[in-house]
Structure 1
Amino acid sequence: MSRPVIGVTAYRHMIDDTFLAQICGERTPEAVAAVAGGLPLILPGMPDAASTGELVDLLDGLVLTGARPNVHPECYGEAETEAHGPFDRGRDGVTLPLIRAMTEAGKPVFGICRGIQEMNVAYGGTLHPEIRDLPGRMNHRMPKGEKDHGVIFAKRHRVHFREGGAFHRLLGITEAETNSLHGQAVWSPGGRIVLEGHADDGTVEAISIDGARAFALGVQWHAEYDAVQDPLNRALFEAFGADARAARDARSGRRGAA
């Protein structure tokens, strides 16, 4: 049987100040293929290229990747400032309705870094543009100017999972060590967003979508890094992949019955 089709979000990027491109880091589609067992399909942030309904019909799962641009603050009712940028309004236009539609269709959604933020905004939540500016918060950004991926993606802090929550039930643990490469973070949770994990400084690091019929989890760390070897990240991609296969089977069954 064919592998489940997994949408992996891209973002708009200017190459050499000349060419506009839709890009996606290699680690996420690699994790989708190697750990989740899916067929990765990179989705451009171009709302006019495909409708939300077309994408839901095509996909068996959705991974929302990290990205340089942030969700535009107008999407959660705030005015744009320099601290909020840069932006990618095209990606906002694709991901926010797609998150809701995939969840309602009972198909798995996995948000990573910007992805957890998109999930929160999709359900009416807000973001803080620079979490390190808050009293008592640590700097969650990567070391400035660093090029060594071993240093960039090093585990920097603990995440404490809600007792009895979605991550605790799935992973069997109440805390883990994770990497940290972000400026923004979830601030006020959206209507269906359950806060599942926090860093020592109180920053939201994990969420779930209440009432979702399939995997619907978001993490603030980069779970795609070393997803083959890292037990925490591997478990997340494996669970996501299992629900994507179930969605594929349901889709195949519907076609067979047609």
Structure 2
Amino acid sequence: MRENGEKSTVSGGRPLIGVSTYLESRVSWGVWELPAAVLPAGYPRLVRAAGGMTAMLPPDDPAHARSVVARLDGVVVAGGPDVEPARYGAAREERTGPPARERDAWELALIEAALASRTPLLGICRGMQLMNVALGGTLIQHLDGHVERAGTFSTHTVKPVPGTLYESIVPDASTDVPTYHHQAVDRLGKDLVISAYAEDGTVEAVELPGPAWALGVQWHPEAGEDTRVMAALVRAAS
């Protein structure tokens, strides 16, 4: 339910899921080459397959985040560039990407608003890392052996932690997931618990126990065919 007591579900009762977007300085289509807010098509495809509808959330004034989230049934913080290390009190290392300060500020505000309003929240890759930072955690700025070829997804195995929300969604003993990242959770944010690991011990999912539905995954479900994580968000949003 939203603050006015009305559900914001769209036609057919499908929950409205807001997904944050990239903000690129130059994107080309047709005769146009302009700055643009963009979102890989895998995100709305996955939301639709899971029974929801997508609203794109390009970077905006962080002061507007609460009113935006109040109109939504669920929030997804999408993958993207590295979180600025200053956000978690660290100096930038050589292999850390350039800052995306406008996006950092907006998405941190979305996370805060979703948690405060108990709006179901899913963080994907950067989104999970930003959830950790929002709750006072830190990040490993580079994992050796990851992201050998820019822009290429690979797969690896993740294993759930028994008794977690994630394990209730994906109870398989292990699952191969599509992945593309070079950063990971280091110190865990306040009240977060780890709900999945990679075989090398890398944290692959975190969640926030309590009345709010909040889950972060390190991999990219929008790049695969498994809808279970997104479907769980949509159910919670319903």
TM-score, normalised via structure 2 length: 0.86
CA distance in 1, matches of 2:16, 2:199: 36
CA displacement, residues 97-142 of structure 1 (integer Å, 9 cap, x when unaligned): 221221221211111111110111111111111111xxxxxx232x
- Per-residue CA deviation, residues 27-76 of structure 1 (Å, 9 max, x unaligned), is 001111222x222111112226x612211211111111111x21111111
1:23 to 38, 41, 54: 38
Of the three residues 236, 240, 243, the one matched with 2:229 is: 236
Do 2:17 and 2:75's aligned partners in 1 also have CA atoms closer than 8 Å? yes
Aligned pairs for 1:1-258 (under 5 A) are: 1-15=12-26, 19-35=34-50, 37-47=51-61, 51-67=64-80, 69-132=81-144, 139-141=145-147, 143-144=148-149, 152-155=152-155, 157-214=156-213, 216-227=214-225, 230=226, 234-245=227-238
- The size of the alignment, in residue pairs, is 223
1:211 Cα deviation after fit: 1.8
Q: 1:186 to 1:212 in 2, by over 3 A?
A: farther
Structure 1: which 5+ runs fail to align?
Answer: 133-138, 147-151, 246-258
Which structure shows the bigger proportion of residues in helix conformation? Answer: 1
* Greater strand proportion: 2
Partner of 2:3: none
TM-score, with normalisation over the residues of structure 1? Answer: 0.80
Per-residue CA shift, 1:192-236, capped at 9, x if unaligned? 21111111111111110132432x111111111233xx3xxx111
SS in 2 for 1:41: strand
Quick one: percent identity of the two aligned structures? 37
- State the match for 1:135 in structure 2: none
Q: Any gaps of 5 or more consecutive residues in structure 2?
A: 1-11
Q: Is the contact between residue 154 and residue 180 of structure 2 (CA under 8 Å) also seen in structure 1? A: no
In 1, the alpha carbon distance for the partners of 2:211 and 2:187 equals 20
RMSD across aligned positions (CA): 2.0
Structure 2 CA distance for aligned equivalents of residues 160 and 171 of structure 1: 9
Question: Does the 8 Å CA contact 1:197/1:204 hold for their aligned counterparts?
Answer: yes
Q: Deviations over 1:126-163 (max 9, x none)?
A: 1111111xxxxxx232x5167xxxxx4342x2112112
